Structure 1
Amino acid sequence: MRNASSFYLSALLLSAVLSASAAEIAPAATYGPELQGFDYPYPLKHYAFESQGAHVQMGYMDVAASGKANGRTAVLLHGKNFCGATWEQTIKTLSAAGYRVVAPDQIGFCSSSKPEHYQYSFQQLAINTHALLEQLGIHKAIIVGHSTGGMLATRYALLYPQQVTQLVMVNPIGLEDWKALGVPYRTVDQWYQRELKLNADDVRSYETKTYYVGRWKPEYERWVTMLAGLNQGPGHKLVAWNSALIYDMIFTQPVFYEFKNLSMPTLLMIGDADNTAIGSDIAPPDVKAKIGKYNVLGKQAAKLIPQATLIEFSGMGHAPQMEDSDAFHKALLEWLAKQ
């Protein structure tokens, strides 16, 4: 009996060791090419249409007001390393305040199509978004754009000025023209090779340093898993290729030259410690030293936009809506209430 008991105990210990080892080497979560398997905070719907000769679809969330409806709609446009889902807290807050909220994923991102061949432009993405809103019966809206979504929001507002009641940009990138400032050009093929290597550790390291001013919070990990899991899933190459095309669009299509043409009340919400600048990793030291200075860029942008209000979040980085949700949403709701 003692031998049998000893053998049984040894087997249990061995099983525990093997299980622990398996857990240590288990691969991180991966998702399908349209982020299949990732849980969105609200029901995910799809808008199917034809674009550039291809059948494509945009994923989106359409969330009704949970508080007393005020008849206003806010459209939330995500950034390059974000998705509609990353607006989770903003959707909840705006909905509770009486707003209908629509948060789409743009073509090439997240739950939307990743075409093999697509000519990316902010005009095309704006037209796609406008078509979605028309189908939903939304003819006037508050347009809110974060990061790359800020560039898209600007283009949308320039294309459809009569349908944008207010424009909000949250740490938009493209407040300067990197190529004109001396940042070297990466070809699409070079971006593609870079994106093929993307992994969770690199994403976390980059975002900690560039987005969050060295301060990492456990709740950010969900968005790292989302981004890395999409890239490393079964759509790996197609996801990386679309990402490369999108980076080229961002680098080559600055919109801040046209800020002077914005005709609607505009709110700039800027974490002033942000240092995001596309291509800064390959820029010469003298160029790198002068780009991505949001404590300067926010003020410069506010002077270019005719009806601009600037709210700066001292010491915050690229995503103040995630870093200090309460302060951010209080400021946003107060400004919207005045409009």
Structure 2
Amino acid sequence: MCARTAPHDAPALVLIHGSAASARSWDALVPMLTGSHRVIRIDLLGHGRSAKPDGPGYATSDQARRVGQALDLLGVKQAVIVGHSSGGVVATALAERRPELVTALVLINTGPSLDAFIEAGSAAVGLTQWPPADEQIRRFASTGFSRAGARIPQQLLDEMRAMTYHTLTATMQATTDYLKQQPLPERLAVLGKPLLVIFGEDDRRWRSSSAADYRVVPGARVELLPGLGHSPILEDPQRTAAPLLAFAEIHAAASTAR
């Protein structure tokens, strides 16, 4: 499922959410991006208003393939692709599968490899029921913010509860499997795509210092946002949008010039 805004002929900016989220996680950013871009938001399979089938199909490569198909249906020939958290893993897979479609990439708090994962802060859901109770979801979501005890938006509770146990575990396992195969910086270094990495410096899921690993990608820019955690798109949309928009405008213009 996808949602779009702004004129059809504006440069395309595609937003891909992370695990246990949906296209709604970008709500606060979208008004800051639509002035100069055709913003397209994707609900990955198993999330939001997309289907939630049992069985296979949640592999990262499959998610990337469906994003590409959605953009084909919308007539998008080139786009700047933005991914938050595991959405950045899907964005990377899309660039590998469809390099002609991807003008540039923006990864927001996307861990470069499993070595960067902060296991002690992973907040195991401890599921004893499905759908989970609010308190279970809050424990799961708490490390998505810069400080313990942060208020968890109601929409996050609703989005996770709308998933199934299978869709949640399958999508999280798919991200792990993809990172096991090869770290993202190694994958991106050979693609030659302009790259911006934005990282909340107080991320409690992935070591923010690991953002430096992306510097192996030629020309990569890394922006650390002090005081923000794993979800800067929710904690401070304006600070997150500023470098994203500047980068997207440069590379959208470069694409148009070609």
TM-score normalised to the size of structure 1? 0.65
- Return the match for 1:316 from 213, 218, 228: 228
* Partner-residue secondary structure (3-state), 1:312: strand
**Alpha-carbon contact 1:77-1:149 (below 8 Å) kept:** yes
Map of 1:163 onto structure 2: 101
Map of 2:256 onto structure 1: none
State which drifts further: 99-108 or 321-330. Answer: 321-330
State which drifts further: 246-255 or 204-213. Answer: 204-213
Map of 1:74 onto structure 2: 13
Q: Distance in 2 between matches of 1:70 and 1:134?
A: 15
Q: Give the 3 Å change call, closer, same or farther, for CA 194–258 of structure 1 in structure 2.
A: farther
Q: How does 1:30-49 map to 2 (within 5 A)?
A: none
Map of 1:250 onto structure 2: 175
- Return the match for 2:133 from 199, 209, 217: 199
**Alpha-carbon contact 2:44-2:63 (below 8 Å) kept:** yes
Map of 2:30 onto structure 1: 91
Map of 1:55 onto structure 2: none
Map of 1:172 onto structure 2: 110
Q: Give the 3 Å change call, closer, same or farther, for CA 319–167 of structure 1 in structure 2.
A: same
Map of 2:150 onto structure 1: 216
- Return the match for 2:87 from 149, 162, 165: 149
* Partner-residue secondary structure (3-state), 1:162: coil
Query: Could you list the per-position Cα deviations for residues 124-166 of structure 1 after superposition, in whole angstroms to 9, with x for gaps in the alignment?
Result: 1111111111111011111000011010011111111121111
1:306 matched to 2:218: yes
1:139 matched to 2:77: yes
Query: Could you list the per-position Cα deviations for residues 172-223 of structure 1 after superposition, in whole angstroms to 9, with x for gaps in the alignment?
Result: 13x2225x99x7xxxxxx9996673633212223333442323624xx4222
Q: How does 1:45-64 map to 2 (within 5 A)?
A: 59-64=1-6
Q: Give the 3 Å change call, closer, same or farther, for CA 208–177 of structure 1 in structure 2.
A: closer
**Alpha-carbon contact 2:127-2:136 (below 8 Å) kept:** no
- Return the match for 1:103 from 32, 41, 57: 41
Letter in 2 for 1:176: S
Structure 1, gaps ≥5 residues long: 1-58, 184-189, 232-238, 277-291
Map of 1:335 onto structure 2: 247
**Alpha-carbon contact 1:208-1:214 (below 8 Å) kept:** yes
Q: Distance in 2 between matches of 1:60 and 1:125?
A: 13
**Alpha-carbon contact 1:195-1:243 (below 8 Å) kept:** no
Q: Distance in 2 between matches of 1:311 and 1:154?
A: 18
Displacement of 1:248 in angstroms is 1.6
**Alpha-carbon contact 2:4-2:40 (below 8 Å) kept:** yes
**Alpha-carbon contact 2:146-2:227 (below 8 Å) kept:** no
Q: How does 1:230-269 map to 2 (within 5 A)?
A: 230-231=162-163, 239-254=164-179, 255-256=183-184, 257-269=186-198
Letter in 2 for 1:336: A
Map of 2:207 onto structure 1: 293
Map of 1:118 onto structure 2: 56
Name segments (4+ residues, structure 1) moved above 4 Å.
Answer: 190-195
Structure 2, gaps ≥5 residues long: 252-258
TM-score normalised to the size of structure 2? 0.84
**Alpha-carbon contact 2:84-2:110 (below 8 Å) kept:** yes
**Alpha-carbon contact 1:83-1:110 (below 8 Å) kept:** yes
Q: Distance in 1 between matches of 2:173 and 2:126?
A: 10
* Partner-residue secondary structure (3-state), 1:196: coil
Q: Give the 3 Å change call, closer, same or farther, for CA 229–72 of structure 1 in structure 2.
A: same
Q: Distance in 2 between matches of 1:195 and 1:334?
A: 44
* Partner-residue secondary structure (3-state), 1:332: helix
Displacement of 1:112 in angstroms is 0.8
Q: Distance in 1 between matches of 2:128 and 2:103?
A: 39
**Alpha-carbon contact 2:194-2:219 (below 8 Å) kept:** yes
Q: Distance in 2 between matches of 1:329 and 1:165?
A: 18
After superposition, the CA RMSD in angstroms is 2.6
Map of 1:326 onto structure 2: 238
Q: Give the 3 Å change call, closer, same or farther, for CA 228–332 of structure 1 in structure 2.
A: closer
